[in-house]
């Protein structure tokens, strides 16, 4: 007699923030007893700019608890990946004659491709001179819109204290002028 190997189909399922127009791979055949690690097509590396995939789970495979590996059994297998947009660190700080309450540096984060708008702060006795944005971002100074890229961003706000001349008058005549 002849024996035939059991062949099953491995398919892939994507969840999460899947990159737009990213094609799911075609199903592939696998043979009974094979270790499925060679079918793990994504290892968590950044395969698409701004996105990372991680192995979420496996359905239909046989799991060897002793060594933590999955093997092809008699059922079709689905390998599931979760896609996420890369988180990006954003640092905000201030320069110049900084008013009280604005001295500290603030770190926060957004994800790749997020957009947000910088607003113009106001403080009595000070003029806000504007924002500068450095790093992996697109910045539209006219609208204050920042679109997050793939690496750290530093946002700096510049302040200036308002200055006024003081004029001393004696009997209607300018006596002295102080800035």
Helix (H, G, I), strand (E, B) or coil at 36: helix
Structural tokens at position 155: 């946002």
pLDDT digits (tens, 9 = 90+) for 149-173: 999 999 999 999 999 888 888 888 8
Do residues 83 and 19 touch, judged by C-beta distance below 8 A?
Answer: yes
Exposure b/e, 68-88, CB count within 10 A at least 16 = b? eebbbbeeebbbebbbbbbeb
pTM of the predicted structure, to 2 decimals: 0.72
pLDDT digits (tens, 9 = 90+) for 96-150: 999 998 877 889 999 999 999 999 999 999 999 999 999 999 999 999 999 999 9
Alpha-carbon torsion (107, 108, 114, 116), positive or negative: negative
């Amino acid at each position: 007699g002849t024996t035939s190997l059991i062949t099953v189909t491995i398919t892939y399922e994507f969840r999460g923030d899947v990159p737009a127009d990213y094609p799911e791979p075609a199903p592939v055949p696998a043979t009974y007893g094979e270790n499925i690690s060679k079918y793990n097509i994504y290892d968590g590396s950044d395969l698409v700019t701004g996105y990372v995939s991680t192995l979420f789970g496996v359905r239909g495979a046989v799991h060897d608890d002793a060594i933590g590996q999955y093997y092809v059994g008699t059922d079709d297998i689905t390998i599931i990946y979760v896609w996420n947009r890369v988180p990006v660190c954003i640092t905000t700080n201030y320069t110049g004659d900084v008013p009280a309450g604005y001295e500290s540096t603030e770190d926060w984060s957004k994800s790749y491709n997020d957009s947000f708008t910088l607003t113009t702060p106001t403080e009595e006795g000070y003029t806000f001179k504007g924002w500068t944005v450095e790093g992996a971002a697109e910045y539209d100074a006219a609208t204050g819109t920042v679109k997050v890229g793939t690496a750290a961003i530093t946002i700096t706000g510049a302040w200036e204290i308002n200055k006024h001349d003081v004029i001393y008058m004696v009997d209607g005549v300018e006596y002295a002028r102080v800035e």
